[in-house]
Amino acid sequence: MRRNKTQRKREFETHPLALVGHPHVAGRWREFLGADAPLVLELGCGKGDFLLQYARSFPQSWLLGLDVKKERLWKAATRAAAEGLSRVRLLRENILILEQVFGPQELDEIWITFPDPYPKKAHEDRRLTAAHFLAAYRRLLRSGGRVHFKTDNAELFEYSLMNIRSGPTRILSLSDDLHANPWLEPKAYFETAYERRFRAEGLPIRYVCFEFL
């Protein structure tokens, strides 16, 4: 049976892999999930293409996908459940309250995959690599934790590198054309749906991985 949008949204709210609204476990995620394992967060996970690839390759990690669209999250949750990827959780939440959802030094990795570039200067504070977001990531990551950022947008990438380099950070991997550089760590090549589309259009994928000092 083909489900309409309303049905998918409603079903997501009761899905066993779904977390709707603020779960009030900031600082206690490993206790809440029931295992002391790496905690990996993808911002704007959409239908879960990247997240599920990661979960298949690193079954010992907890994979958390955050998005505001229930319909997309329903798809990700349904796919993860069908494959038995029991360490995937989907959060319907706004990134603006990220520090209410997670506690200090709680995350091991943050993945920012093809966010809206918000090209207008007036919208700069909405870019997920703006200085105030980077400051939040620093507080949420464990010592040695990493941020991974992927985009097709050259202007956003340069803006992001400027902000990253202006803080106490160390760049670990950097590429202006990710898929032309096959020597980076395998997880860098896990693709989102946007990434496949951009590659089909001949656009280079830009990638940076960094840690805070």
Tens of pLDDT, residues 73-112: 999 999 999 999 999 999 999 999 999 999 999 999 999 9
- Rounded to whole angstroms, the maximal C-alpha distance in the chain is 52
pLDDT at residue number 1: 47
Strands 88-92, 18-20: pairing kind:
parallel
SS3 31: helix
pLDDT of residue 8: 82
Domain count, the chain: 1
Tell me the residue range of the domain where 72 lies.
5-212
Confidence (pLDDT) at 201: 96
Confidence (pLDDT) at 22: 66
pLDDT tens digits for range 151-161: 999 999 999 99
Q: CA nearest 169: which of 161, 177, 180?
A: 161
pTM (2 decimals)? 0.95
> How confident is the model at residue 10, as a pLDDT?
83
Beta strands of the chain (E only): which ranges?
18-20, 39-43, 62-67, 88-92, 107-113, 141-151, 169-175, 206-212
CATH number of the structural domain spanning residue 146: 3.40.50.150
Cβ–Cβ under 8 Å, residues 87 and 30: no
| Catalytically annotated residues | 116
CA neighbor of 14 nearest in space, from 84, 92, 83, 93: 92
| pLDDT score recorded for residue 6 | 80
The yes-or-no verdict on residue 3 having pLDDT over 90 is no
Within 10 Å of residue 3's Cβ, how many Cβ atoms?
13
